């Protein structure tokens, strides 16, 4: 059991949209991810997903509205809700989601990361 | 589904050692808590517990060593591991733990908060 320093962990990688596992808690992973640009519309059938912004801004488009997350803000996207994450500038985000969660949810494509690295 | 601004939520309460529910994700709660002083030794039989410090410092004593968490650091205390949180000065902490988790774990006393408020 070791503590995790977010700044130090985020300094260890530079690729976007590729979540890294930073901790394991019950049946979930804590993941760190750098985002820049637009992702893909998707939803998760069975899993709620938390986004906590630690640096930058993250726009989460929903089908009926947008949520703009700034530093120190989080949102929990309930299972089944379609969402599209967009970061105009680089953003650093903590994700919390069940181990079974795939980053692209119901949509599998070249951006799917099936086996995230541990960091 | 609303976003949560941590600074704004933490400004809404001032009591110590009394976690407030700020979000619900799968079978867990995201809780916010202000800590000051020493808590009680306890463990959680079935639940891992995450502590993420957003302001101040949190010392977590274990039976064999101490972990000092500063701002932007988290640790996950695995189920069964005895721990004693201590905050010399006021600390603001995000907790993530299963809904079934009692703040005092296996130890029930006057500091037990059986039904945390929502914030």
Looking at chain B from residue 87 to 106, which residues have their Cβ under 8 Å from any Cβ of chain A?
96, 98
Handedness of CA A75, A80, A84, A85 (dihedral sign): positive
Q: Measured between alpha carbons, how far is A27 from A45 in angstroms, rounded to an integer?
A: 16
Q: Do B72 and A26 touch (CB under 8 A)?
A: no
Give the per-residue pLDDT at A36.
98
Give the per-residue pLDDT at A102.
84
Token pair for A98: 């069940």
B119 touches chain A (CB under 8 A): no
Q: Which residues of chain A have pLDDT under 50?
A: none
Instruction: From chain A, pick out residues whose CB is under 8 angstroms from the CB of B98.
Output: 26
Q: Which residues of chain B have pLDDT under 70?
A: none
Give the per-residue pLDDT at B107.
84
Neighbours of A45 (CB within 10 A): 10
ipTM score assigned to the predicted complex: 0.93
Mutation target to probe the B interface, by most B beta carbons within 10 A, among A25, A43, A77 is A25
Query: Smallest Cβ distance to A3: which of B47, B49, B73?
Result: B73
pTM recorded for the entire structure: 0.94
Element at B9 (helix H, strand E):
helix B6-10
B69 touches chain A (CB under 8 A): yes
Give the per-residue pLDDT at B102.
84
Give the per-residue pLDDT at A7.
97
């Amino acid at each position: 059991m070791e503590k995790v320093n977010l700044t130090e962990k985020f300094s260890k990688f530079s690729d976007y949209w590729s979540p890294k596992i930073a901790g394991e808690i019950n049946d979930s992973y804590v993941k760190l991810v750098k985002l820049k640009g637009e992702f893909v519309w998707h939803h998760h059938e069975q899993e709620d997903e938390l986004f906590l912004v630690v640096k930058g801004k993250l726009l989460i488009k929903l089908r009926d509205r947008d949520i703009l997350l700034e530093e120190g803000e989080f949102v929990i996207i309930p299972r089944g809700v379609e969402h599209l994450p967009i970061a105009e500038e680089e953003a650093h985000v903590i994700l919390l989601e069940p181990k079974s969660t795939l980053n692209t949810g119901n949509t599998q494509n070249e951006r799917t990361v099936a086996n995230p690295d541990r960091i």
